[in-house]
Structure 1
Amino acid sequence: MQETVLGDLVLFLKAGTQPVSNLTEPVQLFFKHDIGEKSGRCVFWKESDPMHEAGKWSTEGCETTKTDEEFICSCNHLSFFAVLVNPNLKVDESSAKTLSYITYVGSALSAFFAFGSLFIYVHLHRRRPEKALGIHMQLTGALLCLHLGFLSSSFWIYLLKEEQGGWVCRGLGFFLHWSLLATFTWIALEGFHLYLLLIRVFNIYVSRYLLKLSIVGWGFPTLVAVICGSLGVYGRYTLEIRDSNNNTSPSQICWMSSEFQQRHVVSYITLAFLCLTVLYNTCMLLVVVFKVWKIRGGQRDYECSDWKKTNSNKWSRLWKDGTTVLGLSWVLGLPWGLASLTYATLSGIYIFTIFNSLQGVFMFLWAVALSCKSRSEMNSSVRDPSTQKIMTTSFN
């Protein structure tokens, strides 16, 4: 979670011209806070040294005491002091460990099931080569790369010493960012293809359609990742986790280097791309719901003379339509929109972590559903060859 300086207030204490440290009696500073501030930590500005490119906030030599109205900072040296707060939420060390276990287990399951989904799509595509299946295959491949990249970046760094493996970590950070962008891009292309099916209907012929989508789906992430890599964006990323006593423990991953000063700019651009993708695909899902509702309304007009039949099929259709919309929401990546919940409550973080770490599992269920639907329609076409064209259109 991103921390901010309490009240944008920084206090500077100085005595003479020489640095003052290791005081026997700590100096105390009082920072008033609002009632909504649930947690905070006293920090000072640690200036740059030969081992770091820039300065950073540090808690060394400072202790934090919180009252109903103030943060009391007790420090054994003089410097620039402030209180870093996160007014929205505090994730303690215990919750951070639990979330990490959920993420690792869910990501491993997603990688396994995404691999299985690829086999299903390849089998379906051989029987019935369709554009939608080709796009599903590409998205599943990107999702598989994303989870493998995350697991590799998380666990490989524990096998390296602090001074070793710099180029390996940069490579893993590059692969993780590239696969994340590729996943977002193919999710956006899923929404674009859905737009063509719903708005353009049958007038969607594009020469070498899948090839052009593949150039965009894999070319755009590669271009962005190569530019970021040439700028030195990737490396070790360190996240400080606080326990109940405000003691910090570092957690590292091969991602965007903490020492790269413009890392936040790249992160915000990536986040903006995700937000635009989720917003666009949400609109496409709403169009799907509207189209289904309109079709069902027309069917009800034809069936109004047979009330019993209509009533018996009502819940069956509602269930099928609901599962279809739910499955499309996973394909369109809408669970990524749950990231907004992470700024509200700890429960929101758990919901976001569980749903997105298991995205590969839900994609596998969608692939199984398509396989069952395809098998059912093939059997129907064998029994009644005249329905084959209608079933193909329905499957698309």
Structure 2
Amino acid sequence: MEYENGTEGKGRHWSVNGCSVVFSDENYTVCSCSHLSTFALIMQTGETVSEDNPFLEWVNRMCVIVGLVFFALAILTFLLCSWNPKINNTARLHLCLCLFLSHLMLLLDYTYLTHKLVCSIMAGLLHFLVVASFLWMLLEALQLYLLVQRLSRIQIIQREGLQKKYLFLIGYGIPLVIVGVSAAVKRDGYGGSKVCWLKPEQYFTWAVLGPVCTVLALNWILFCVTIWSLRPTLANMKSDVSQSKDTRLIIFKILAQFVILGCTWVLGFFQSTMVFKYLFIVLNSQQGTFLYIVHCLFNKEVRDEYRKWLGCSSSSSTPDSMKEAPSVSEDLDKAGEEKQKKGTRPG
């Protein structure tokens, strides 16, 4: 068993949450403890683990489960639907895969917490998935930035972004190197008694916080530059492209993209306040939800595919707001076509 946080002596007592008796006789008692833990621990910078908060853990569990459902829907959609050849969903697909697996591992952490070797292996795998997730967020932000930059040069929009071989090299190659070096430098750095993660001794958690902070800084810069570059394009788009009469939809897409690119993970550095803890859990557990809504549900081609699967007619049971709601990629593709037409008109 373990002590709950508290000062020496007064107010300190044994924690029995998540613990059960394995064996007991007149001489000693063996207990097995498994504690739920929020994935906010990924951003923990110190060695002190906050005390158990049952309601926070319940919110974490519910939010993660909802997020996993939408991650699964997005993954199936990216794999099974036919897409516009101009749209490259590689980064989005692998971002969903990495976040889905990492969230699932944290949700089921208690099942292998008591096995030291398994816990260490799973901690190393989780380290890889978390770093890979942030690299895929960076690649998604970079591809969106490149797409917007093409709009400013009045050219035909080809297939989005980088080639697949470069995406895989960055998205999985760099995390593999980081985890390999970390494991070589500190072999016993993975595991733990409360959560299977990097041990905080000697600041080993910076093996993940270092890459995460770097990606967060780059994503914030790319997001701000992208939005700034997109302002004149959105202002010049026709009403049937940008839905200028419904600015709330555009604002929602921008805010959703802010979450999808992981910019809200910066809240992890302000977890001393309970409000920020809840915001961190709710927003970052729903990356898959926002990604599914913006890139799948708001995509007319995908909705048509859904209707085919469900055997529905092309116009039945679809809200008017959804019929007119293009995805981010559709918005930018059409904007590029508009600029292309304007650029080729005789002066």
| TM-score bucket (shorter structure) | 0.5 to 0.7
Return the offset for 1:213.
Answer: 0.8
- 2:186 matches 1:254: no
Aligned to 1:72: none
Aligned to 1:319: 248
Aligned to 1:63: 10
Distance 1:146 1:129, change over 3 A: farther
Distance in 2 of aligned mates of 1:197 and 1:367: 15
The letter for the 2-side match of 1:63 is K
2:100 paired residue among 139, 144, 149: 144
Return the offset for 1:297.
Answer: 3.8
Aligned to 1:80: none
Structure 2 length-normalised TM: 0.66
Distance 1:108 1:233, change over 3 A: farther
The letter for the 2-side match of 1:350 is Y
Aligned to 1:247: none
Aligned to 1:237: 192
1:128-277 to structure 2, matched below 5 A, reads 128-130=84-86, 132-157=88-113, 160=114, 165-201=115-151, 209-230=163-184, 231-238=186-193, 252-257=194-199, 261-262=201-202, 264=203, 266-277=204-215
Return the offset for 1:135.
Answer: 1.6
Return the offset for 1:174.
Answer: 0.9
Distance 1:199 1:206, change over 3 A: closer
Aligned to 1:361: 289
Contact 2:233/2:335, CA 8 A, preserved across alignment: no
CA RMSD, aligned part only? 3.6
Per-residue CA distance 1:252-278 (angstroms, 9 max, x = gap): 1111236xx43x1x3224223222222
Distance 1:331 1:358, change over 3 A: closer
Aligned to 2:261: 332
The alignment of Structure 1 onto Structure 2 pairs a total of residues equal to 267
Distance in 2 of aligned mates of 1:41 and 1:367: 46
Distance in 1 of aligned mates of 2:126 and 2:290: 21
The letter for the 2-side match of 1:135 is A
Contact 1:153/1:253, CA 8 A, preserved across alignment: yes
Aligned to 2:334: 394
Per-residue CA distance 1:321-357 (angstroms, 9 max, x = gap): 21221221122111212224323x2111111122112
Return the offset for 1:191.
Answer: 1.4
Distance in 2 of aligned mates of 1:326 and 1:168: 39
Structure 1 length-normalised TM: 0.58
Contact 2:78/2:89, CA 8 A, preserved across alignment: yes
1:137 partner SS = helix
Distance in 1 of aligned mates of 2:223 and 2:90: 20
Distance 1:115 1:280, change over 3 A: same
1:25-40 to structure 2, matched below 5 A, reads none
1:143 partner SS = helix
The letter for the 1-side match of 2:256 is G
Contact 1:235/1:255, CA 8 A, preserved across alignment: yes
Return the offset for 1:374.
Answer: 5.4
Distance in 2 of aligned mates of 1:290 and 1:208: 22
The letter for the 2-side match of 1:141 is L
Choose 1 or 2 for highest CA Rg.
1
1:219 partner SS = helix
Per-residue CA distance 1:14-35 (angstroms, 9 max, x = gap): xxxxxxxxxxxxxxxxxxxxxx
Per-residue CA distance 1:218-239 (angstroms, 9 max, x = gap): 111122122223332444324x
Distance 1:170 1:296, change over 3 A: closer
> Which structure shows the higher strand fraction?
1
Ranked by relative contact order (alpha carbons within 8 Å, sequence separation 6 or more), the top structure is 2
Which consecutive unaligned segments of at least 5 residues does structure 2 have? 13-47, 305-313, 315-329, 337-347
